Amino acid sequence: MKNVLMGAVRFAQGTIVTLATLVTLAGCGGGGGSSTTNTAGNSPQSTPASPGATASGTPLATAPAPVSAPAATVPQSTTPNVQPVTVTSTPTQTRNMLTTSVTVCVPGTSNCVAIDNVQVDTGSQGLRVLASQLPASLELPAVPATPPAGTANTLNAECSVFGTGFTWGAVRTADVRMASQLAPGIAIQVIGDPSVPTVPLQACR
């Protein structure tokens, strides 16, 4: 019993000493702070050093302020770029066929013809029209082919192969208009042009 009491007394003494130490540190401000007292009625308080200067008076290097990039703007185009299209079915009962109208002209002239029901095929390129849709007055110049040795006036023709077949016809030059835009002097294929020989089946397979 006596030993228990002595241990309790020592514990209490240690606790009092610890508390006294903490109070002393708190009274000293923990060693990390400072305060300025104005002892005269008209003397100004000391001003803390500016963060941009060191004790030696040399300014600290500061990173430049980031420059905000101008907002990206896309100017609105004033060029007409609208082409009417029609969704229909073909004579062979192909549904949802996209068609449009194309104006074909003799290069550099106003001799033109508007061709309706031209199939819009996003899987191919170029323009192909039936020779029967071009009036006799619309004489498109032929794109000359490189003639073999000993021949002349060789007409250029091409075979275009598709998933359901192929087209064969002469290659001629035309001005093509769509959506108020002009593609001058481009090569088009005239399918069934009588000026080219019969279809070379081996070449189109």
Per residue in 54-104, pLDDT (tens digit) is 555 565 667 677 777 777 888 887 877 889 999 988 777 788 889 999 999
Per residue in 151-170, pLDDT (tens digit) is 555 678 888 887 778 888 99
Q: Is the pTM of this model over 0.75?
A: no
**What is the chain's mean pLDDT, rounded?**
74
Residues of the chain with pLDDT > 70: what percent? 63
pLDDT for residue 48 is more than 60: no
pLDDT tier, 106 (very low <50, low <70, confident <90, very high otherwise): very high
pLDDT for residue 28 is more than 50: no
Using alpha carbons, select from 142, 197, 196 the residue that is nearest to residue 174: 142
Are 182 and 122 within 8 A, CB to CB? no
Give the chain's length.
Answer: 205
pLDDT for residue 195 is more than 80: yes
Amino acid at site 117? N
Which span out of 61-65, 118-122, 200-204 was modeled with the highest average pLDDT? 118-122
Residue 187's pLDDT is: 95
pLDDT for residue 203 is more than 70: no
